[in-house]
Amino acid sequence: MKALVYDGELRLVGDYPRPEPPPGEALVRVILAGICNTDLEIMRGYLGFHGVLGHEFVGMVEVCAGAPELIGQRVVGEINAACGDCPTCRAGRPTHCPNRTTLGIGGRDGAFAEFLTLPVVNLHPVPDQMSNRVAVFTEPLAAACEITEQVHLHPTDRVVVLGDGKLGLLVAQVLGLTSCDLLVVGRHAEKLDILRRRGIPTALTDEARDVQEADVVVDCTGHPDGFLAARAMVRPRGTLVLKSTFHGVNQVNLTALVVDEVRLIGSRCGPFAPALRLLARDLIDVESLIDAVYPLDEGLAAFERASTKGTLKVLLEIG
């Protein structure tokens, strides 16, 4: 099968072996997939992953011995494949299973290929009336929902989202539904416009230099610098939610966190069902986030486009 493989460099391979679903897993024909910043970070050395990239997808179940009713069903898929058997899994935290593999990120080939396999328990049927272009955003939108899963946002909270990239725009839309006093700070007027059209207040970075005393600040910048900016905006005893993953470490004044009693919360993958509910109710504008759609054959060009500063979501049309 065709696949976009990273093994130190990114290559389009024509004869990559088609995966065989082991017991408990389904074979999924990928229809549409999205390029995420994590894919770009992997190509900068993040996590040291080699294999088929890609973890945002919508596809069709082709083979599924354990759950034949899924065959022919359009699905999206949670990306962490847990062992189900270790203390972490049994404690109800399968996305943190130490034995997990992660689609296109760790130990498991990803979605930028004609086929992928995932455990049946990871798959979520897509409502019939939902388009592929919408459904492909389920995974990143679930990551946005993880914030409200972890943190109680009060309607009276002053909340700042830093970053107007793909993730920031989804996070902002999810948090905006909570009725909190939200401000989204970014570097690109045209991206912030996507939010402004939906009535979400925004500011350019330069206009937001004086923002401080926020109850909650969410760093979605994807950059090491985002932490310092977010830190400066959060009030004592406030909450700083970290969504950015990048290759490298930060200099952090831990003592200042102690003195200000700041709460830092790392936040990663989220629950799919809430994300699908938001998409089904058309409460999130994802269409405006699509920058371009490329066929898999032009995968290298798609990555070049996705790597260009300021580009929003680049999709790969596969099946």
Rule CB under 8 A: which residues touch its own copies?
A: 46, 87-88, 93, 96, 146, 150, 213, 224, 227, 235-237, 242-255, 257-268
For its own copies, give the closer residue by CB, 242 or 300.
Answer: 242
For its own copies, give the closer residue by CB, 200 or 218.
Answer: 218
State both tokens at 250.
């930060």
Least distance (Å) from its own copies to the CB of residue 95? Answer: 8
DSSP character string of 11-65: EEESSPPPP-PPTTEEEEEEEEEE--HHHHHHTTTGGG--EE---EEEEEEEE-S
Least distance (Å) from its own copies to the CB of residue 214? Answer: 12
For its own copies, give the closer residue by CB, 93 or 196.
Answer: 93
Least distance (Å) from its own copies to the CB of residue 257? Answer: 4
Least distance (Å) from its own copies to the CB of residue 244? Answer: 7
For its own copies, give the closer residue by CB, 22 or 236.
Answer: 236
Pairing of strands 202-204, 181-186: parallel
State both tokens at 319.
């099946």
DSSP character string of 87-138: HHHHTT-GGG-TT-EEETTBEE--SSBSEEEEEGGGEEEPPTTS-HHHHTTH
Distance CA 135, CA 58 (A): 6
For its own copies, give the closer residue by CB, 60 or 264.
Answer: 264
Residue 109 C-beta-side C-alpha neighbours within 13 Å: 23
Least distance (Å) from its own copies to the CB of residue 234? Answer: 11
